[in-house]
Amino acid sequence: MSVSDKGSDKLPGKRGNTNDHQSALENKTASLAMNQAVDAYLSFLRHEKGFAANTCAAYQRDIQKLSLLAAGLTIEQWPALTAEHLRRCLAALKREGLSARSLHRWLSAVRQFFDFLMREGICHSNPGLQVQAPKRPKKLPDTLDTDQLAGVLNVTPDSPLSLRDHAMMELFYSSGLRLAELVALDLVDLDLDEGVVRVVGKGNKERIVPVGSKARDAIQQWLTVRRGMAQDGENAVFIARGGQRISRRQVQVRVKAWGLQQGLEGNLHPHKLRHSFASHLLESSGELRAVQELLGHSDISTTQIYTHLDFQHLANVYDRAHPRARKKDDE
């Protein structure tokens, strides 16, 4: 990506090509200072904000895109970056094919990075606050209906690994866990007698969520065979064939394979089970705040997307059932 090919895009403080060797040395020094600032920022995200490793990696990739915009600037010259430069960078990223969702995430990362630079006294303003991200289409979560879930979950496992996979999927749907939350579960987090599980979610926020009877039964069956598979000292609830904690990728592969084996159309993945949990619970209860707490959403607006799903379901029922709503061809 290059947003400064044209002369009008050049940033204040950049030198011309009168001395290539000196310019190269200055660029190297600027890159070193920039890398130090990024490292300090990532350390801040990990240790003070409590962000997960994958989240930090995503922020790092976004900040690296910003660094290309400021190539050749020393860290002290970063106040030279303006909202107009960021708009050009957004336009360049869009031309490269980044989706509106990715552009929103990039701008959010840039804003938070400038907040950090202001905190460190490097910058005195945040140009990202003057930039508006492009509108993104509202995409409703992909869910399964209750009949589809019954076909996927009402299965008798016939091997230790299928017992594990069945328990994982029951827990996804029963408690609405994220993939990372399920993988991170330790044995001490489970209380099957009380029917609850302790979850550490985004931002290291802890919550206690209920575990339904079907999931408790499936987990108990899995724990019975887990004892003979786990390596010494392994505390993970869900382990791989080798006896160590299962990885996120392994869970995704196993869940997808399970859906295919049960003849489910489309890709079955952990988040689809979480979405189904939220949609079905909200549809039955109407308790938006309760669903927010169970999902671990910090902002209720994130949970409100499931109200759109519920309304869409009701609208479809209305269109099919109301005599004044049906098209003439259907009469």
- pLDDT for res 299: 59
Residue 102, class by beta-carbon neighbours within 10 Å (0-12 exposed, 13-18 middle, 19+ buried)?
middle
Separation in Å, CA 202 to CA 179, 199, 237, 291 = 11, 10, 19, 16
Q: Residue type at 68? A: L
Length of the chain (residues) = 331
- State residue 319's pLDDT score: 60
Domains located in the chain, CATH noted: 7-130 (1.10.150.130), 146-320 (1.10.443.10)
Mean pLDDT, to the nearest integer, of 146-163?
91
For residue 198, name the pLDDT band (cuts at 50, 70, 90).
very high
**Confidence bin at 245 (pLDDT 50/70/90):** very high
Angle at 235 between CA 197 and CA 48, to 5 degrees: 70
pTM for the whole structure: 0.56
The answer to whether the CB of 122 falls within 8 A of the CB of 75 is: yes
Predicted confidence band of residue 316 (pLDDT cuts 50, 70, 90): low
Provide the angle, in degrees to the nearest 10, between the axes of the packed helices 20-47 and 100-119.
Answer: 90
Instruction: List the end-to-end C-alpha distance of the chain, in Å, as a whole number.
Output: 57
Contacts of 33 (CB under 8 A, 6+ apart): 74, 75
Helix, strand, or coil (residue 206): strand
Enumerate the active-site residues: 178, 202, 271, 274, 297, 306
Does residue 198 contact residue 189 with C-beta atoms inside 8 Å?
Answer: yes
Band of the pLDDT at 248, cuts 50, 70, 90?
A: very high
Give residues with Cβ within 8 angstroms of 35, minimum separation 6: none
pLDDT of 137 reads 62
CA dist 229 and 164 (Å) reads: 11
- The residues pairing with 210 across neighbouring beta strands, listed in sequence order, are 196
Residue where the block lists tokens 């969520």: 209
Q: List, for residues 68-85, the tens digit of each pLDDT value.
A: 766 656 666 666 778 888
In this prediction, residue 147 has a pLDDT band, given cuts at 50, 70 and 90, of confident
